């Protein structure tokens, strides 16, 4: 029995080992800062990593510190500014790509999926390289962020390795050969950098998104309220909206009935408004092309 226990422990240790990338694993790619900025706004980095209520140039100061209270504990959003000591200024491009593709930090630690790498993993490596290059141009912020406050067993990072084996495969988005270029672009932005499903998709008992109910709404990740259905279901989703209605929402924050977005969606909309019109139109076209899925979330 002791021997079996030792063997099981060794197997578990290897199964939970972090996956990392070295510089030689990356493609030979010259960073494109303009595309990096597009990826920055599409990814919504400032929505969580800038100071709450930041405006103007301050939204580009990614010092972190936001406390995200969830059913799993409190996650304190890290400093991702290019500060050498308290941010990610000492991270290599390979470190950064590893974090987004495999959910592993510079020190080889598993990252919690409150950081939405289960979506970012779908990004093209070239886009991640461009994003890192753009973020390196931002102002360093000297800010030490507190560690996460999580109960047992969620405070055991190594255990995340088993979760990542199932839900973090590192695979890049594959276009649908039957879809148009526009819809594939929208799908990439929604599933990858935009990580829309992280909030708009209900989750199972393991905390993973339920693929069969993608984007149909559900409980808010923070455990307070609900997130709306953004599939074209007529009764519970956006089935009565037009593509132009969606683009208007992305640009202005106003819905067809002249309501306005608020709460955690407000900074998301602010980021969307920075994207080129063709990307907003692509996102709208993709969302309207989805099969309608009635929401199971209770009305808020």
Question: Whole-prediction pTM value?
Answer: 0.91
Q: What span, in angstroms and rounded, lies between the C-alpha atoms of 270 and 182?
A: 22
Cα distances (Å, whole numbers) of residue 26 to 20, 40, 94, 97: 11, 20, 7, 9
Q: What is the pLDDT of residues 165-180, one digit of tens each?
A: 888 899 999 999 999 9
Contact criterion met (CB below 8 Å) for 260 and 254: yes
DSSP string, 258-280: S-B--TTHHHHHHHHTTS-HHHH
Q: What span, in angstroms and rounded, lies between the C-alpha atoms of 87 and 92?
A: 12
pLDDT of residue 13: 52
Q: What span, in angstroms and rounded, lies between the C-alpha atoms of 232 and 53?
A: 32
Q: What is the pLDDT of residues 261-275, one digit of tens each?
A: 877 788 899 999 999
Contact criterion met (CB below 8 Å) for 111 and 117: yes
Residue 299 has pLDDT above 60, yes or no: no
b/e code 66-101 from CB counts within 10 Å (16+ = b) = bebebebbebbbbbbbbbeebbbbebebbbbbbbbb
Q: How confident is the model at residue 300 (pLDDT cuts 50, 70, 90)?
A: very low
């Amino acid at each position: 029995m002791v021997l079996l226990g030792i063997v099981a422990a060794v197997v578990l240790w290897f199964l939970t080992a972090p996956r990392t990338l070295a510089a030689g694993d990356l493609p030979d790619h010259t960073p494109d800062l303009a595309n990096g900025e597009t990826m920055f706004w599409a990814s919504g980095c400032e929505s969580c990593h800038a100071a709450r209520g930041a405006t103007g140039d301050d939204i580009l100061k990614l010092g972190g510190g936001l406390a995200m209270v969830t059913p799993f504990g409190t996650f304190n959003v890290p400093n991702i500014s290019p500060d050498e000591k308290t941010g990610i200024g000492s991270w290599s491009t390979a470190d950064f790509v590893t974090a987004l593709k495999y959910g592993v930090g510079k020190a080889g630690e598993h990252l919690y999926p409150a950081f939405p790498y289960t979506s970012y993993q779908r990004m093209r490596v070239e886009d991640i390289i461009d994003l890192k290059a753009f973020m390196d141009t931002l102002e360093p912020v000297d800010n030490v962020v507190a560690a996460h406050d999580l109960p047992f067993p969620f405070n055991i990072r190594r255990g995340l390795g088993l979760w990542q084996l199932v839900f973090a495969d590192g695979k890049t988005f594959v276009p649908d050969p039957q879809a148009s270029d526009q819809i594939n672009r929208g799908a990439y932005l929604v599933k990858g950098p935009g990580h829309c499903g992280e909030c708009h998709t209900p989750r199972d008992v393991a905390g993973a998104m339920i693929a069969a109910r993608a984007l149909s709404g559900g409980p808010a990740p923070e455990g307070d309220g609900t997130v709306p259905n953004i599939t074209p279901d007529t009764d519970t989703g956006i089935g009565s909206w037009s593509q132009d209605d969606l683009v208007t929402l992305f640009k202005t924050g106003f819905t067809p009935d002249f309501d306005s977005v608020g709460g955690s969606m407000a900074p998301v909309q602010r980021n969307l408004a920075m994207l080129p019109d063709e990307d907003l139109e692509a996102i709208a076209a993709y969302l309207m092309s989805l099969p309608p899925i009635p929401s199971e979330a209770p009305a808020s």
